[in-house]
């Protein structure tokens, strides 16, 4: 069984460079399918979700020419299949972007229902509603999603019932080559939604309003890339290092990030008495005492991101006073709090609310990584606490953080990635 062994406590200092945004890249990679030719991408994070996506695209006929692990040219000239294998697509949620992208290019598409996760129910009814509004027929049967169109998709007025990142991006993908104009209302405004629109516009699409409540797409006949596209830096990786710096009473400069995207987090840091300095594309976080407690309510961008909720809980766990977290996006996102309690945290979580009473110290323990962000939070807890923390289920963390061990260790952490080959021998 693989694990991260974190030797705590430590104080993080120095400089760390942020990788490209996972949640942009998982939409931009399938978006390249709308081009019957080549696309050149850089600042692509080298993480397991992206390697899984590359495997799916290769199975459809895409060819990859690597300039580095983070920069490559994808040639989709010879993609001739719109049936993605169950084995590959069922592995991870973001495979749902294949639906919008392939439906833009082909008349019949089949993918498996996107893979499960530990955050609670993850319906795709709003994705399906958007495709149907554009004229497709969609059927969910035997664990697969089948989408068909007779002729070209037709522009439509789509009002999303809930603000959904995935449904917004999938509707954009499907509407880009549709005939006529599509208006999508009540959309998500996350930085990755804007990044996808910018990428498609750089290929000749006509998408306006990304980053606002309404997006207008005037369909174009074809897309073509003229210059290399660079994926934006990862907002959540940036926030994760911000929390780690503050929690370890460190002094860390985080480079290649977009401070504007960090505003909901920066505001909470200042409330907690943590020093944050923005300078162009870098952020310096400095702290020398326990944070003040604070409260957060997660909501769609520009509200407080749910994907930063578990990491912020580490700051509250060691804060002076009591803080409250209200989770408004995912129904099961507090499972990780049981792991923190094992480490000595004082947390009581029920339904959508967690009450966190700050304690003086946390203590090393074996803990599970319930999902990607909870796993990152466990590593930060390990950096803070006395003794050794073993973080299991590392695959969740490796899905979304590039070189996480190397990056933390370059700041003074002592983390080992251990593959235990003796597993089972003791039984």
Query: Contact between 125 and ligand EPU (CB under 6 A)?
Result: yes
- Closer CB to ligand EPU, residue 396 or residue 407? 396
For residue 78, the SS3 value is: coil
Q: Which two tokens stand for residue 384?
A: 């803070």
Residue number, nearest CB to ligand EPU? 166
DSSP code per residue over 218-286: E--S-----S-EEPPBPHHHHHHHHHHHHHTT-EEEEES--GGGGHHHHHHHHHTT-EEEEETTEEEEE
Q: Which of 104, 155, 166, 291: binder of ligand EPU (CB under 6 A)?
A: 166
Contact call for residue 164 and ligand EPU (CB under 6 A):
yes
Q: Using CB under 6 A, which of 11, 38, 122, 148 touches ligand EPU?
A: 122
Query: Which residues in 68-87 contact ligand EPU (CB under 6 A)?
Result: none
**Which positions from 313 to 342 touch ligand EPU by CB under 6 A, shown as an x/- string?**
----------------x-------------
By CB under 6 A, the residues from 260 to 289 that bind ligand EPU are none
C-alpha distances in angstroms, 334 versus 240, 296, 355? 17, 14, 11
Q: Of the ranges 37-45, 120-128, 251-259, 319-327, which one interacts with ligand EPU (CB under 6 A)?
A: 120-128
Separation CA 5–CA 379 (nearest Å): 9
Q: Which stretch binds ligand EPU (CB under 6 A): 60-68, 125-133, 246-254, 353-361?
A: 125-133
User: Shortest distance, CB of residue 376 to ligand EPU, whole angstroms?
Assistant: 9
Report the candidate in 132, 129, 64, 123 with the shortest Cα–Cα distance to residue 93.
123
Q: Which long-range contacts (CB under 8 A, 24 or more apart) does 264-273 make?
A: 264/302, 264/303, 264/304, 264/305, 265/239, 265/304, 265/305, 265/308, 265/312, 266/242, 268/294, 268/296, 268/304, 268/312, 269/242, 272/246, 272/315, 272/319
Q: Which of residues 223-262 bind ligand EPU (CB under 6 A)?
A: none
Nearest to 307 by CA among 405, 400, 380, 382: 400
162 binds ligand EPU (CB under 6 A): yes
Question: What is the rounded distance in angstroms from the CA atom of residue 64 to the CA atom of residue 29?
Answer: 11
Q: Please indicate whether residue 385 is annotated as part of the active site.
A: no
Q: Is 307 one of the binding residues for ligand EPU (CB under 6 A)?
A: yes
Q: Which of 3, 4, 12, 23 binds ligand EPU (CB under 6 A)?
A: 23
The site map against ligand EPU for 170-209 (x = CB under 6 A) is: ------------------x---------------------
State yes or no: residue 93 binds ligand EPU (CB under 6 A): yes
Rounded CA gap, 382 and 372, in Å? 16
CB of 11 to ligand EPU, least distance (A): 27
Choose the catalytic residue: 10, 39, 117, 228: 117
Tell me which stretch binds ligand EPU (CB under 6 A): 144-152, 157-165, 172-180, 237-245. Answer: 157-165
- State which of residues 373, 376, 390, 397 lies at the interface with ligand EPU (CB under 6 A): 373
Q: Select 149 or 399, whichever has its Cβ closest to ligand EPU.
A: 399
Per CB under 6 A, which region of 119-127, 141-149, 201-209, 267-275 contacts ligand EPU?
A: 119-127
Give the pair of three-digit tokens for residue 114: 């996107």
Which helix (H) or strand (E) segment is 87 a member of?
helix 86-89
Binding of residue 26 to ligand EPU (CB under 6 A) = yes
The DSSP annotation for 316-345 comes to: HHTSBSEEEEE--S-TTTTTTHHHHHHTT-
Q: Which of 121, 106, 202, 125 is nearest to 171 (CA)?
A: 125
CA distance 371 to 80: 35
Q: Do residues 168 and 160 make contact, with C-beta atoms less than 8 angstroms apart?
A: yes
Q: How many residues bind ligand EPU (CB under 6 A)?
A: 23
Q: For ligand EPU, which stretch binds (CB under 6 A), given 83-91, 117-125, 195-203, 247-255?
A: 117-125
Residues near ligand EPU, by CB under 6 A: 23, 26, 93-94, 121-127, 162, 164-167, 188, 306-307, 329, 372-373, 400
Catalytic residue ranges: 117
């Amino acid at each position: 069984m693989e694990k991260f062994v974190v030797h705590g406590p430590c104080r993080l200092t120095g400089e760390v460079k942020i990788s490209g945004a996972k949640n942009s890249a998982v939409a931009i990679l399938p978006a390249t399918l709308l081009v019957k030719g080549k696309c050149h991408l850089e600042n692509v994070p080298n993480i397991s979700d992206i390697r899984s996506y590359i495997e799916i695209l290769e199975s459809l006929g895409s060819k990859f020419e690597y300039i580095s692990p983070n920069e490559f040219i994808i040639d989709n000239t010879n993609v001739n299949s719109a049936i993605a294998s169950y084995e590959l697509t069922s592995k991870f949620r973001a495979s749902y972007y294949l639906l919008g992208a392939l439906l833009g290019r082909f008349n019949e598409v089949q993918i498996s229902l996107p893979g499960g996760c530990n955050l609670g129910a993850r319906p795709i009814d709003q994705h399906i509603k958007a495709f149907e509004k554009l004229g497709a027929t969609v059927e969910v049967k035997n664990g697969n999603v089948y989408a068909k169109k007779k002729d070209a998709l037709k522009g439509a007025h789509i009002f999303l019932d809930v603000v959904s990142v995935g449904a917004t991006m999938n509707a954009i993908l499907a509407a880009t080559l549709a005939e006529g104009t599509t208006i999508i209302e009540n959309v998500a405004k996350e930085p990755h939604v804007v990044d996808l629109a910018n990428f498609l516009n750089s290929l000749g699409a006509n998408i306006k309003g990304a980053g606002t409540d309404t997006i207008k797409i005037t369909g174009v006949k074809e897309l073509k890339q003229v210059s290399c596209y660079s994926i934006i830096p990862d907002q959540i990786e940036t926030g994760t290092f911000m929390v780690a710096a503050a929690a370890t009473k460190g002094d860390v400069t985080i480079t290649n990030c977009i401070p504007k995207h960090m505003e909901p987090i920066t505001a909470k840091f200042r409330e907690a008495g943590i020093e944050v300095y923005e300078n162009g594309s870098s952020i310096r976080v400095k702290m020398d005492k326990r944070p003040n407690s604070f409260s957060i309510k997660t909501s769609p961008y520009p509200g407080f991101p749910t994907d930063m909720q578990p990491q912020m809980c580490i700051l509250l766990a060691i804060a002076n006073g009591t803080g409250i977290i209200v989770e408004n996006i995912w129904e099961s996102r507090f499972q990780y709090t049981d792991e923190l309690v094992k480490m000595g945290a004082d947390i009581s979580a029920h339904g959508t609310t967690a009450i966190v009473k700050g304690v003086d110290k946390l203590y090393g323990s074996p803990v599970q990584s319930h999902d990607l962000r909870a796993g990152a939070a466990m590593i930060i807890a390990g950096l803070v606490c006395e003794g050794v923390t073993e973080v299991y289920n590392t695959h969740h963390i490796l899905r979304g953080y590039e070189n996480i061990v190397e990056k933390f260790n370059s700041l003074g952490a002592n983390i080992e990635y251990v593959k235990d080959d003796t597993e089972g021998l003791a039984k």
